[in-house]
Amino acid sequence: MKSALIEKFQTIFGRAPEILARAPGRIEFIGNHTDYNGGSVLGAAIDRGVWVALARRDDGQRRLASDRRGQIITVPAARILKLSGAKRWANYPLGVLAAFPSFGLREPAGFDYLAMSDLPAGAGLSSSAAIELSSALAFAEAAGEQPSREVLVQAARHAENHFVGVPCGVLDQGVSGFGKNDHLVFIDCRGPRFELVPLPPGAHFWIFNTHTKHALVDGFYAARHRECLEAAQALGVALLVDVSPAVLAANAGRLPPLAAKRARHIVEEIARVAATVAALRDGNLVAVGKLLTASHRSSQHLFENSTPELDFLVDALVAAPHIFGARLTGGGFGGAVMSLASGKFDEAAAEPVAAAYAEKFGARPEILHLQTGDGAALHQP
């Protein structure tokens, strides 16, 4: 993909790029909506992601292009404005630029920029964080800055929260920034604190992408965020991470029924993350799989961010041989299901699941067999 990126950059801008950066997409392994509640989460950087190529300009113009859009977007250096319509993809790198001053980082004055991705859109694999992290690395290099990995992650999250407008936690950017092959990234979101957890041998990720709407910006994500904060306030804490399962059970009557369901999902999900880390360290993939499936049932019935399509896939997968467990991955409300499988699960085993889904919903899911990968990094042009 690197050579294709360089070739396309030369075609669009008539010169070679000076800087290359890549950041991976991620699988949300477990910890659904726990991050912005101050809890913990586990994610895996994957072997697909977003590449960014950049070359500096002396005239202050910022020209941005994407392999998935035909037009070049020209933005003056003096002011960064949020874009709409077909240009809104550029809000992710522009949001990173807008965030840099808040973290004491200089912005590159002018540049030509190209983003290229091999992540499927709408699959819950966080292409947004991948473009934010790869852009942040490229912009910092172009401006002569050498920020820490933590600062880059926080700047990328700031871009998504305050410029793009999605009130996400640090999961997506943290995993894309700190990922490592054959490991999961554990994040204590209160710090945030990042730690690598080895993935036991024989674990395989299979993603079933429904291509149904993944409408985070459209309000569902923001609504759950608000509901969680209201539940925390009613319980007298700043964030739900400060509520134990026992305290929640004792005080559930103080909450409206909807808030009680949301709070229970978050509090129990944080406990499932801790149990999953322990099971991973023991190499017990059977136990890990049961926790993954329990996470989905909680998302389905308590947090209500699943869909009939996602529920059908989880039901079909956990009934299939060689599957340890399955759950929705990402924000929910569409998108994809992740399953944890042994090496005996293959394309032939995946086919009956896809066929049953197609018979019920009239379209086949996209099937991806993904591996872990390394986090965001600069590359030689």
172 annotated active-site: yes
Query: What is the rounded distance in angstroms from the CA atom of residue 284 to the CA atom of residue 177?
Result: 27
Q: Which of 35, 67, 112, 172 is catalytic?
A: 172
CB atoms within 10 A of CB 381: 15
Beta strands at 40-56 and 111-117: parallel, antiparallel or unpaired: antiparallel
**Catalytic amino acids?**
172
